[in-house]
Structure 1
Amino acid sequence: MAMTDLPVELIYPILDLLNAEDILFAFRLVCRQFYRIVENYDRLKIQLRWHTSKATIQRLCRIVRPKNVTSLLFEKYSLNSGNIECLFQSAAIDQFNRLRSLTLDNIETDDLERFVTPLSTNSTLTSVTVCMRANSRRRYYTAVSYWKRIIMLANIRQLTLDIDSKAINAISWPKDCTIERLTLRGCSYRQFCNIFDRSPNLKDFILNDNFTGDLDSSIRPETCRSLTSLTLKEIDLPTEDLEFFLSLHPCLISLTLTTQENVSRNTFQHFSRWEKFLQSTLPLLKNFNFSMSNQCNQFENVESILSPLCTSFWLEKKHWFFTCQYTEGSSVKTIKLYSSTYSTAQFPDSLNDDNLSYAITTMRSGNQSNRSRMWSARVNLTWMINAIIANTFKVPDQHYFRHVTRLAFDVDVNPEWSVDALQHISTWIDLSQLHEIWILETSPCELQFDAIEFLLAQAPQVRTFGLTYNDLPSRIIRLGSVVSGRIDHLKIRDLDILCFSSFRWKLFLFTMFIQTATIAFMTSLRFIQTNLYRIDGPILVILDEQSSYSAMLNISEPVPPPESVPSIPELVRLIPELNFWSDLGNILLVYTALLALVLEMGYNINPSAYNLVCCRVRVYVIFLADSLSSFYLIPTSIAYYSLVLAILMPCLMIVFGSLAIRNLRSLRHINAVARTVTNGTNNLRAPIAKDTKLIRIALINIIVYVVLGSLMTIFFMYLQMTQYQIKSDLQK
């Protein structure tokens, strides 16, 4: 089924995924049917980015129908400040009377006025997003009236104001606002209460920055029970103030909290004991996502931080799962606690590539909550080995990670990670608990296969082995001989190979062996080819050269080529001279093509690769010599086919046929004389009828041969004369 056969109801959702330029400048011009569909398509989304040219804006405004536009995005940039003038000169904003969504990015106060004034009476606008330029802060207060017009739109449902918090605090929020989703960069707590008191339909509130000023617990909004979703980003509030603020919204269903980069240690510990608070204050909460981090000066036991979040309330009742991660860099130690939904990366990418990074995660397997915690660790092997050699790495008395199940090694240089180094690892990581091991190569290095074998021997429960690898398949074959029979799944990231079962893993090794054997076979063929050119190439050049010279010397007086097309007898006479010029072309072809190929393939000498003049001369002489040789062979071939096939063969058939008839008549005459002497009768004229039949048979044979042979002769002559012409299928 072609796209032109689809109904309009199916084509419209496809157009919803395209931008206005693709629809109007490409899809619309495919055919008349698509042209009519686009003319009636009333869900156009125009996006004028900072890189959109003025010509594109003018063309869009000239083609588009304002009534068909439902979404408009305008992005201003310092280098394209004239685009907004071009837009207002090419289109009348007040004619976009079906506009539902308006997004203004990086604009100034004057720009806001030019957009808001004609759209203030728009009754279809439901979503507005405004991001003011940072250097326009001094004129924010002059734009307060325009923001109030936006807020007072009759059907406004979603509003995003990415502007300075002081300007937001200056807005006098109108009563009975229809906004249902509000996103602010920042505001004061007092203005927040004012907004909630005047927005009875508000259900989703997002604050991208911390509250300005302190929270005054004596000030409470009159009603906040309509709010069901709350997002607070980059908050920096004491735990008591945060709990007070959340207690104002008992109907919350979704809560997202992210703190600044470094919160206090008390907040970190107190936050992990929120079980009672959430049960009593937010009983309807279903989705709870948060992320917070803290810088520390010493090694942290993440298990003690995560333990309060491993109760049945979090895992079985709410199904909320968390990760506590410790990262030790060259100068900073960081501990981070976050919801597992915040991290979509898989191990080992979920851990930082610093000196040491490990995490403990609560998880659920299928429909059953797994309350046993999953430990993951990622270690820079070079850093650890250097620390062990320099005695700066203190080996603890007991295992750091008693229950590590996934371990990754970062290998950024080519260290001597021997078995002794791995024995030191076993003193602070319990290798017997491992189920998955990764080796991450950030630069090419030599794999220590004996160390890998020792590592797998110390970790008998490993079923998955991962590797980021950049090397030949033969190295993977050697790795396979070490890990085969020990693991069930192999992950090789750079080769885009997915997990394999044990059978598929063996099949993969067999396939890689075949590929390696093929590579070795191709290498041997290249070796043979090189030596053939080195040894046999010069011999062929000498033989071809000698044969051509000998043929040329046999002709005493070579004559220049004729100026006009000669006749057949002249061609027969000129065959030796034509062969002379053909041999001369062969000699040029030997020196330019065959000798150059022998030098290139056998001795890796190719002047044409770095000398443009040599390359041009070589290509020209090759084509000239090849054409010259063929040009003088064509008349010879014509003479051959004409002389031998068309003339000589029929003449020979006539001669030998006549001789055969003559001999038969002589034989019959002798037999007749003998019978006359014996019987006394004369029958000399009796065999004349049989001779006539024999002559007819010979003539028919000659005529059939001439007719059929002439067709082949003409065909071969045509091939010789047109061998360098491009022919159609019918001519071929």
Structure 2
Amino acid sequence: MTTTYNLSLLNLPVEILHHILDYVDTSTIFLSLYDVCTYFQAVVKAYSQYRIDFCSISKLYFHRICRIIQPETILSLTLSDDNRTPGQIKLFLSLFNINQFTRLFSLHFIDIDDKDLYTVLRSSLTSTLTSLRIIWRECHCPSVETLDLLSITLAQLNLHRLELKTASYAITKMVWPRQYTLKHLTLMYITHRQYCTILGQTPELQRLTFNHCSMHEVEATIVPTFYELLTSLTLTDSRMSINGLVSILILTPCLTYLKILGLPDAFEAVADGSFWEKFIRSNLTHLVQFQFYFTNMYYISYTSRDVQSLVSRFRTSFWLQEKQWFITCDYIDYLNQVMLYTIPLCNPDFTYESEMQKISYSTNSNLIHDGSIMTNDVRNLNMTLTKLITSTATENDDLSSDYVFRNVTKLTIDVDQDWSINYVQHLSNIVDLSRMENFTFNPDLNPALIDGTIDSISTLMALSANLSTLAIHPYSSSSDGSMLIKELYNIIPHHIKYLEITIRDIDSMKMILDHHEHLWSLTLLASSDQALPWTEFIEELKNRKRDFTYWQSYYSLHIWLNHAERLFQ
């Protein structure tokens, strides 16, 4: 006799359903499962392991989730005021007090306004926090009052991870508290003195990352102390001289991982393989992995022999056999730019140049031709469609099916000439368009050059099924190029959620709103030769009875739109 089982999620006990929810993203839980039936609503409300990330969410979905969530069930919370969700943090703080979230172990703020951060810090963060991330809005420096409050807050918490990013040296004014539990730290814009202070105040620190690291002044009066627990150091966008690098590396002799991305003051000194070999042998004897990407800050004119000479210093047994660290050096003649980097590439941002545009030598020629390994970490790719690329497009039409950059999700293209459909085919050999999420186009609207470009851009976006973000920054090398802006607006596909565009007047904004009500966010940039009265734009949105939040600067207006709650008369 055959037994028939009625299999249904509704028959499962709550404990099993909660275990299933551990593997389901928050949006699916609140926006899909919650509305299935009253039983699922009860299951969702009783679940207490939520990790909520409000980055890039639509305003409509944000409101829906906020109506459902219970603060005591949230373990991780990320709020963002970036271009996709401007005004989100202030809106969230109007709905909740941050001290209601008593079980948080992770709290992240992206592009936060300093006043909003001050409000948060005054609310007393929960003692359960082990991870805190604060990225100030680019045009906002932290105030002394906020930094004082932050210092007090950090002293009260037992953090394991901390990230503080601000686009100025204001953070150096903060009194750094003693933190015995901190193991991972990320900072921006610090001085040599503060670097030494931080290492002294965080005795258990294991991983340290500095962004925009310069340290032009090395304080000789500081007595050097060695910090032997720090095993990982990353310096990105570093402007340091070789003396600056030595001054901080010599303090951390137990590093096993070192990564440096930068534009050093004196390129040739930092790019000297012989120096690094001697320094590592003497001071970093535990180093297992060394990654770097150096490019010149100032004018350099190289010949093929110069590039070969630079690479030759990395052909010793130390580099090739003992460490097996391989490098490539590219010299771009028309830019007078030299790039020296370890392979595989360790820089997530890369500018693609055709082989005909550069002089290139490597210590491992086999590795540089393996695209799946060489460029695996590149996420953001920049390229210019020049006549030189035109000359190589035909040659590369027979490229293998393997992409040159397989993991790129953001592509920036300068369109400086008539762009034919052949470019789309050439581009599809370079990147996997199915993975593309973000396009930035900088097209020349000169009618004499743009013939075919708009159709090609439209075709490219149609081939990119996962594309959600589009930035268009048109310019014109002729006086009548602005006539073609309307044509650009018309090719914006309806699967675009986030749009950034350069405009000249409010009529341009009206045209976008009339034809693209599906947008989740809109960033408007004023043309480089003028600022715009954004008050008029905001009034236009109010007159249209749009639900929105925003923030503005002198040359930009960032709007978070509720794409489904437009109220008509």
TM-score of the superposed pair, with normalisation by structure 1? 0.47
Partner of 1:674: none
Q: 1:38 aligns with which of 41, 44, 47?
A: 44
Amino acid at match of 1:270: D
Whether the 8 Å CA contact 1:102–1:128 is kept in 2: the answer is: yes
What secondary structure sits across from 2:149 in the alignment? helix
Distance 1:247 1:81, change over 3 A: closer
Structure whose residues are more often strand by fraction: 2
Whether the 8 Å CA contact 1:469–1:494 is kept in 2: the answer is: no
Q: 2:154 aligns with which of 151, 156, 160?
A: 151
Partner of 2:300: 296
Alpha-carbon displacement from aligned partner over 1:540-572 (angstroms, at most 9, x marks no partner) = xxxxxxxxxxxxxxxxxxxxxxxxxxxxxxxxx
What secondary structure sits across from 1:105 in the alignment? strand
Q: 2:109 aligns with which of 91, 104, 110?
A: 104
Shift of 1:76: 2.4
Q: Distance in 1 between matches of 2:122 and 2:303?
A: 59
Q: Percent identity?
A: 26
Distance 1:76 1:382, change over 3 A: closer
Q: Distance in 1 between matches of 2:421 and 2:42?
A: 58
Partner of 1:363: 364
Partner of 2:70: 65
Alpha-carbon displacement from aligned partner over 1:223-280 (angstroms, at most 9, x marks no partner) = 41121111112222332332232111101011011122x6535325534541121122
Amino acid at match of 1:409: T
Q: Distance in 2 between matches of 1:10 and 1:296?
A: 64
Whether the 8 Å CA contact 2:267–2:294 is kept in 1: the answer is: no
Partner of 1:314: 319
Whether the 8 Å CA contact 2:254–2:284 is kept in 1: the answer is: yes
Asked if 1:174 corresponds to 2:174, the answer is: no
Q: Distance in 2 between matches of 1:492 and 1:112?
A: 45
Partner of 1:27: 33
Amino acid at match of 2:229: S
Asked if 1:114 corresponds to 2:119, the answer is: yes
What secondary structure sits across from 2:358 in the alignment? strand
Shift of 1:159: 1.0
Distance 1:226 1:306, change over 3 A: same
Q: Distance in 2 between matches of 1:39 and 1:384?
A: 56
Whether the 8 Å CA contact 2:81–2:112 is kept in 1: the answer is: yes
Q: Distance in 2 between matches of 1:129 and 1:24?
A: 25
Q: 2:277 aligns with which of 260, 275, 296?
A: 275
Partner of 1:125: 129
Segment of structure 1 superposing worse, 228-237 or 263-272: 263-272
Distance 1:117 1:200, change over 3 A: same
Asked if 1:195 corresponds to 2:222, the answer is: no
Amino acid at match of 2:35: L
Q: Distance in 2 between matches of 1:357 and 1:160?
A: 38
Calculate the aligned-residue CA RMSD, in Å: 4.4
Partner of 1:230: 233
Q: 1:241 aligns with which of 235, 239, 244?
A: 244
Amino acid at match of 1:362: T
Shift of 1:286: 0.9
Whether the 8 Å CA contact 2:356–2:392 is kept in 1: the answer is: no
Unaligned runs of 5+ residues in structure 1 are: 367-379, 386-407, 413-434, 446-466, 471-490, 497-732
Instruction: Describe how 1:59-98 pairs up with structure 2 within 5 A.
Output: 59-76=64-81, 83-98=88-103
Structure whose residues are more often helix by fraction: 1
Q: 1:409 aligns with which of 369, 389, 392?
A: 392
Distance 1:163 1:319, change over 3 A: same
Amino acid at match of 2:143: Y
Alpha-carbon displacement from aligned partner over 1:131-160 (angstroms, at most 9, x marks no partner) = 2224433x6112112211332233211111
Alpha-carbon displacement from aligned partner over 1:440-482 (angstroms, at most 9, x marks no partner) = 998467xxxxxxxxxxxxxxxxxxxxx9579xxxxxxxxxxxx
Whether the 8 Å CA contact 2:80–2:86 is kept in 1: the answer is: no
Q: 1:286 aligns with which of 285, 288, 299?
A: 288
Instruction: Describe how 1:659-678 pairs up with structure 2 within 5 A.
Output: none
TM-score of the superposed pair, with normalisation by structure 2? 0.59
Instruction: Describe how 1:496-645 pairs up with structure 2 within 5 A.
Output: none
Q: Distance in 1 between matches of 2:81 and 2:352?
A: 38
State how many pairs are aligned.
Answer: 394
Segment of structure 1 superposing worse, 30-39 or 174-183: 30-39
